[in-house]
Structure 1
Amino acid sequence: MRSLPNFRLSESSPTAHLFLDIEIGDYHRAARHVSMLDWVDGAEREEWEERVMDGRGTRAARHALLAKLAAEHGVAVQLMLGIYEMNEANTPGAGKVLRRFGLTEVLDADCHLRYGGERFLFTPGPRMEERVFLEERRIEPDHIGAYKLAIYQRHLWNWALARNLEIGAAWEARQACIAALAPALVGR
């Protein structure tokens, strides 16, 4: 987190109040707080800011909240959507599940932050340094729901077709990986 800027949270920022109300007064402390929350699947669809502050949220929702907080303070921290092949190397524990489906990888989508050319991941689990993104694009915090899902599903469709897999089987493998990894992500 050394190269990620730190700044005092301003009373004029609506998002900052979510942190100021629990006596978190700077960006680095906000990032640490968000990184320690319980993980849940699918919480970003509605009221994701409040769900994160209630102590749970998806990887996308956590990063969207931090990107929004930075933007409200005029700091150019970007929310990024990355499409990558989840495998044992970049997501420990996924390999065992993937083998049940006869796969060594499956396509996944995840959000992270970018600042000064460096990527930042504030969730446990997947290893950022092991990921090779097939696509990486900047998105807005309000894009973490249907927009993110549509991009991912388009990529998953093409990925599955190129491998003669049924889209449903690819989706099932991805969901099984997420379900298997969830216990390791809760309470961290």
Structure 2
Amino acid sequence: MSSGHDFEISGKTPVAEEVKRLGFNRFMALAEYVRDLPYGRPLDSEDILAPLKEKRGTCSFKHRLLSTVADDCDHSEVKLIVGLYEMSERNTPGVAAVLDRAGIAWIPEAHCYLQIDGQRYDFTGLSSGGSSPFESLLQEHIVAPAQLHDEKAQLHQDVISRWAKSYDWSFEEAWALREDCIKALGSNKAHQPPADFRHSS
């Protein structure tokens, strides 16, 4: 993220005020901190600030927080994106064992990230693979932070359902496989955040 995309966290909303109280006055500093938090689902899925309180987050929780702060500071150029991509070991290290057991090379996954002035910024903090998920995108959708949970779930379920039919699997079987992949990512002790966050135009 270039310095030109950095800005002061100046909003007066409860979320922005709490972020400032925790010591974050610039968006880039907050984004870098969030990126380096461990990967994992917070217990309180309703709390925008959950990644900062529980010191962990998935792509959804981390980018929902960042996009909410940007909105609160009137930076509409920061957009929250849900991208559907072909998740494999090559672009998401840690899922190989799960996929291999199922005898498949990839499964559709929904990934959240930011788009700023036409560039994609991923602050999830997972290890970089041999390729970026952005190279295997199936769809992209701009969503509002408040609608992320419902819209991401619907978009992902629609894609998984169509994909499952190609293998003569039920939706439930395919979704369970996806959940196993996410668990594998959360327990992957070998992963380290990349030295610098990835971005793509």
Normalised by the length of structure 1, the TM-score is 0.88
The one of 176, 181, 186 equivalent to 1:177 is: 181
Residue type of the alignment partner of 1:115: I
Other-structure match for 2:102: 101
Whether the aligned pair in 1 keeps the contact of 2:42 and 2:51 (CA below 8 Å) is no
- Supply the distance in 1 between the matched residues of 2:173 and 2:180 (Cα, whole angstroms): 10
Q: Are the structure 2 counterparts of residues 102 and 11 from structure 1 closer, same or farther at C-alpha, using a change threshold of 3 Å?
A: closer
TM-superposed CA distance for 1:33, in Å, is 1.6
Secondary structure class of the residue paired with 1:171: helix
Aligned length: 187
* Counterpart position of 1:121: 122
Q: State the Cα deviation string for residues 4-24 of structure 1 (Å, max 9, x = none).
A: 611111152432212211111
**Residues 107-166 of structure 1 deviation map (CA, whole Å, 9 limit, x = unaligned):** 111100001111111112264734321110000111222231122111110111133222
Give the 4+ runs in structure 1 shifted more than 4 A: 185-188
Which runs of no fewer than 5 residues in structure 2 stay unpaired? 194-201
Using a 3 Å threshold, how does the CA distance of structure 1 residues 167 and 42 change in structure 2: closer, same or farther?
A: farther
The answer to whether the 8 A contact 1:44-1:60 is kept is no
Query: Which residue is 2:138 aligned to?
Result: 134
Once the two structures are aligned, what percentage of the paired residues are identical? Answer: 28
CA contact (8 A) 1:64 1:79 kept: yes
Cα offset for 1:42?
A: 6.4
Q: Name 2:49's counterpart in structure 1.
A: 50
**Distance across 2 between alignment mates of 1:79 and 1:44:** 20
CA RMSD of superposed structures (Å): 2.3
- Give the stretch that moved more between structures: 74-83 or 89-98: 89-98
Residue 85 of structure 1: aligned partner? 86
The residue type paired with residue 129 of structure 1 is: S
TM-score (ref. length: structure 2): 0.83
Contact 1:85/1:106 (8 A) holds in 2: yes
CA distance in 2, matches of 1:39, 1:111: 13
Q: 1:130 to 1:110 in 2, by over 3 A?
A: closer
The answer on whether the counterparts of 1:79 and 1:139 sit within 8 Å (CA) in structure 2 is yes
Deviation digits for residues 9-54 of structure 1 (CA, Å, limit 9, x no counterpart): 115243221221111110111101211223323657322x131220
Q: 1:126 to 1:81 in 2, by over 3 A?
A: farther
Structure 1: which 5+ residue stretches go unaligned? none
Q: 1:42 to 1:85 in 2, by over 3 A?
A: farther
Report if the CA contact (8 A) 2:87-2:133 is conserved. Answer: no
Please, which of 163, 170, 174 is the counterpart of residue 166 of structure 1?
A: 170
Distance 1:175 1:81, change over 3 A: same
Contact 1:11 1:17 in 2 (8 A): yes
Moved more, 112-121 or 32-41: 32-41
